Amino acid sequence: MSQTYQIVVCGSIVPDPLQSLEPITSPTGPALKNEMMLPAVLDPWAMHALFEAAHLAQSVPGSKVYLVSVAPKAKLQQVMMTVAQKVPFELIAVDGPASGFTEAAEIAPLLADAIKSIPGLDPHRLFVFGGWESASRGAGATMQIVGELLGITNQFQGVDKLTVGTDGSFEVLERIEGGKHQISKCAGPPAVLGWATGSLPEPPNNPQIGMANMRTVMPALQKAKPAKLTGEGVKFVSVALPKQQRQTKIVKDTPADEIAKEIVAWIQES
Amino acid sequence: METILFLSHADAGKPALEALAAAQELGGTLVVGLFGADVQPFANAIAGCGAARFLGVSGADFAPARYASDAAAAAALVKASQATMVIAPATARMNRILAGVAQRCGGRADTHVTGLSAAGVTRWYYRQRMEAVVQRTHRPWFIALEAGCHAPYTGAAGTAAVETVPVTLPALPTTVTGVHAPQSDQQTIRPDAKLLFVAGAGWTKKQPDGQTHVPEAAELILGFLHKTQASLGSSKSLVDLSGEGQVVLPFMSHLNQIGQTGATPRHPKGLATCCHGEEPHVVGWRFINERRAINLDANCGWARGKADVLYVADAFEVMRKVNALLG
**Residues within 8 A of A (CB atoms), B 151-180 only:** 170, 173-180
The candidate with the shortest Cα–Cα distance to A105, out of B40, B74, B100, is: B100
Name the residue of chain B whose CA is nearest to A177's CA: B92
pLDDT at B244: 61
Q: Rounded to an integer, what distance in angstroms lies between the CA atom of residue B62 and that of residue B69?
A: 6
- pLDDT surpassing 60 at residue A95: yes
Q: The complex's ipTM?
A: 0.94
- pLDDT surpassing 60 at residue B278: no
Structural domain containing residue B190: 184-326
Domain range A6-226, CATH class: alpha beta
Q: Contact A197/B254, CB-based, under 8 Å?
A: yes
Q: Contact A147/B129, CB-based, under 8 Å?
A: no
Contact in structure between B56 and B74 (CB atoms under 8 Å)? no
Q: Inter-axis angle of helices B92-104 and B67-81, to 10 degrees?
A: 60
Answer with the one of B129, B164, B199 that is the final residue of a domain. B164
Contact in structure between B30 and B23 (CB atoms under 8 Å)? yes
Rounded mean pLDDT of A151-171? 96
Element containing residue B71 per DSSP (H, E): helix B67-81
Rounded mean pLDDT of B160-166? 98
Rounded mean pLDDT of A237-258? 89
pLDDT at A2: 66
- pLDDT surpassing 80 at residue B261: no
CB atoms closer than 10 angstroms to residue B211: 8
CA angle A255, A260, A261 (to 5 degrees): 100
Based on the domain organization, do B16 and B124 belong to the same domain?
yes
| CATH code of B154's domain | 3.40.50.620
Residues of A in contact with B261 (CB under 8 A): 17, 44-45, 135, 197
Based on the domain organization, do B43 and B153 belong to the same domain?
yes
Task: Please spell the DSSP secondary structure of chain A, one letter per residue.
Answer: -----EEEEE--EEE-TTS---EEEETTEEEETTGGGS-EEE-HHHHHHHHHHHHHHHHSTT-EEEEEEEE-HHHHHHHHHHHTTTS--EEEEEE----TTS-HHHHHHHHHHHHHTSTT--GGGEEEEEESS-SSS--S-HHHHHHHHTT---EEEEEEEEEE-TTS-EEEEEEEGGGEEEEEEESSS-EEEEE-S-SPPPPPP-HHHHHHHHHHHHHHHHHPEE-----TTEEEEEEE-------PEEE-S--HHHHHHHHHHHHH--
- pLDDT surpassing 90 at residue A110: yes
Residue A56 in contact with partner chain B when CB distance is under 8 A: no
For residue B117, is it within any domain? yes
Rounded mean pLDDT of A138-142? 96
pLDDT at B265: 84
Residues of A in contact with B303 (CB under 8 A): 248
Contact in structure between A159 and A38 (CB atoms under 8 Å)? no
pLDDT at B243: 60
- pLDDT surpassing 80 at residue A16: yes
Name the residue of chain B whose CA is nearest to A260's CA: B322
Based on the domain organization, do B102 and B195 belong to the same domain?
no
Based on the domain organization, do B198 and B321 belong to the same domain?
yes
> In this predicted model, what pLDDT tens digit does every residue of A48-75 receive, in sequence order?
999 999 999 999 999 999 999 999 999 9
For residue B179, is it within any domain? no
Based on the domain organization, do B130 and B32 belong to the same domain?
yes
Q: Inter-axis angle of helices A104-116 and B92-104, to 10 degrees?
A: 80
Answer with the one of B164, B195, B212 that is the final residue of a domain. B164
Count: domains in chain B: 2
Residue A151 in contact with partner chain B when CB distance is under 8 A: no
pLDDT at B283: 65
Based on the domain organization, do B158 and B17 belong to the same domain?
yes
pLDDT at B277: 65
Chosen from A263, A268, A269 to mutate, greatest number of chain B CBs within 10 A: A263
Based on the domain organization, do B151 and B20 belong to the same domain?
yes
For residue B178, is it within any domain? no
